[in-house]
Amino acid sequence: MSRSPQKFTSSFTPFSFNRFFAGLIFLLLGMAPLVPWSSSASSKEAGILKLEEPHTGDLAQMKKRRLLRALVVYSPTDFFFVKGKPSGIQVELLREYEKQLNAGIKRESDRIHIVSIPVPFAELIPRLKAGKGDIAAHFLTETPERKKNLRFVSARKVKINELIVANNKVALPDKLEGLAGRKLHILPNSSYLEHLKALNQEFIRQGLAPIKIEITDPQLSIEDILEMVNAGVIEMTVVDDYKAKLWAKVLPDIQVAENLAISRDNYLGWAVRANNPELAADLQRFWKKVKKGSLLGNMLIKRYYQNTRWIKNPAREQARKKFEQLLNLFSKYGDKYGFDALALAAQGYQESELDQNRKSHRGAIGIMQLLPSTAADKNVGIPDITTEDSNIHAGARYMAFLRDRYFSDPAISPNDRMAFSWAAYNAGPAKVRKMRALAEKMGLDPNRWFGNVEVAAAKIVGRETVRYVANIYKYYTAYRYLMQVGKEKAKANAS
């Protein structure tokens, strides 16, 4: 929330949403196919390049950077957004692990943050190996091939089977051998592929025709493939039993063949690189707390893999339309004032959870939580901020004022202009000026927020502003990566 008039110019170039924002809505709310997006902002300007830089050091180095990168897969159970809020079983588990990492750390500026990076399933392991993520936060099957390069961490309490799932019109055999010569569509880089290849070797030894394996587009998810099976576009695929049974409650035209398991009794877990034993050991301690049978473990399994409300929500269409409307406004005023629409949306979520009816005890109102006096000031000049349009307009204009008045020094990088402007929006520019002065006295760089001015900020205003900036940056990062996934996924759907 802002205290007094100011301004903001992130060197984040605006998004061109006019044709593309609807695709993001579907992406953030877990709705179906996406359309491509377009932006003139480079990955460096958007802050993505920093996260993409390869790092393969172990937990000590991650703690020194105060950053762990969790690679997640966008799906209606694992990682998704509800009205802009990151949700899903992996989100909840990562949030609990972040608490463990920060146990005993009192200063907000010393806290370690976990940033979720949504990627297609096929890119999970390759990106992890390449050092572009630190944890593959997805329930991956432990296989001998994967264990050559990865360390798996889990409670090792639940075993799963990989089952054939087919369209209801497909005649299925009684035994696996009846699949000889038939076609299955399979995710690339999946354990299914590894197990099917082994099964085909056995078929060949028995004199049977091997199963025909059709590799799907790497941008598609298992949920995409199940929808294709449901529609009859493809006949059969392979899915983990718990996911297959969940989706059978939602998709009316699929059948789950529990008698046709291409692999049985597999353990699932998160994965880290083989050369990260410290991180693996720390995660293993965490997983002992959340194993199935614990209160948290049982609660999460029931919430995401037994209850279908995240997938089949009657209010979803209404929520989609609402969020679509808001993103259009963020795009409109992002374009007007030179901001990335997703950066404004992330800020709006942090301020109010995108609720125009929100009012703070200090009198700030609406999505962007502005004081009416701030909005009416000559530097903003929007006296009525009671509508969503005028509230977002005033927030963007105020941010532009902060950016251009206080952080236009070319010595400040684009990312730091963004961070300083968020900080000023929250605490006021006078306090940010004091923060920068104190940082310089402390021997820190006054032109850099993360790891520098934020340390001084914690001394001057406590935890609120440091957490405020960090939270927005995390939401914004997730939104940006989801846009990348959406672009590639649109290409896959088109082909």
The pLDDT value given to residue 40: 30
How does the average pLDDT of the chain come out, rounded?
82
Taking only the tens place, the pLDDT of each residue in 314-362 is: 444 565 567 778 888 999 999 999 999 989 998 998 899 888 999 999 9
Q: How far is CA 383 from CA 338, 347, 372, 373, 378, in A?
A: 22, 21, 7, 8, 10
155 or 218, greater pLDDT:
218
- CATH fold group of domain 159-265: D-Maltodextrin-Binding Protein; domain 2 (3.40.190)
79 or 399, greater pLDDT:
399
Taking only the tens place, the pLDDT of each residue in 5-61 is: 333 333 333 333 332 333 333 334 333 322 222 223 333 333 334 666 899 999 999
- pLDDT band (50, 70, 90) for residue 408: very high
The pLDDT value given to residue 401: 97
By C-alpha distance, which of 334, 391, 399, 397 is closest to 368? Answer: 391
The pLDDT value given to residue 23: 37
Taking only the tens place, the pLDDT of each residue in 221-256 is: 888 788 888 878 889 999 999 999 989 988 889 999
74 or 21, greater pLDDT:
74
- Is the pLDDT at 398 greater than 70? The verdict is yes
51 or 178, greater pLDDT:
178
167 or 156, greater pLDDT:
167
Which class does domain 15-33+316-480 fall in?
A: mainly alpha
Mean pLDDT of all residues in 82-110: 86
Structure tokens at 158: 């639940």
Taking only the tens place, the pLDDT of each residue in 193-207 is: 999 999 999 999 999
- pLDDT band (50, 70, 90) for residue 293: low
Domain ranges of the chain: 15-33+316-480, 48-156+269-306, 159-265
**CA 45 from centre of chain:** 19
> What is the percent of the chain where pLDDT is above 90?
53
Least confident window among 110-119, 132-141, 165-174: 110-119
- pLDDT band (50, 70, 90) for residue 297: low
Mean pLDDT of all residues in 140-144: 92
The pLDDT value given to residue 450: 80
5 or 471, greater pLDDT:
471
**Three-state SS at 469:** helix
> What is the percent of the chain where pLDDT is above 70?
81
- pLDDT band (50, 70, 90) for residue 427: very high
What DSSP string describes 44-90? TTTTHHHHHS-----HHHHHHHTEEEEEE--BTTTBEEETTEEESHH
The pLDDT value given to residue 302: 75
Taking only the tens place, the pLDDT of each residue in 205-220 is: 999 999 999 998 787 7
Q: Please, what's the b/e burial string for 336-350 (b: 16 or more CB within 10 A of its CB; e: otherwise)?
A: ebbbbbbbbbbbbbb
- CATH fold group of domain 48-156+269-306: D-Maltodextrin-Binding Protein; domain 2 (3.40.190)
CA 411/CA 243 separation, integer angstroms: 51
- Is the pLDDT at 430 greater than 70? The verdict is yes
The pLDDT value given to residue 312: 54
By C-alpha distance, which of 105, 103, 46, 97 is closest to 68? Answer: 97
Q: Do domains 15-33+316-480 and 48-156+269-306 have the same CATH topology?
A: no
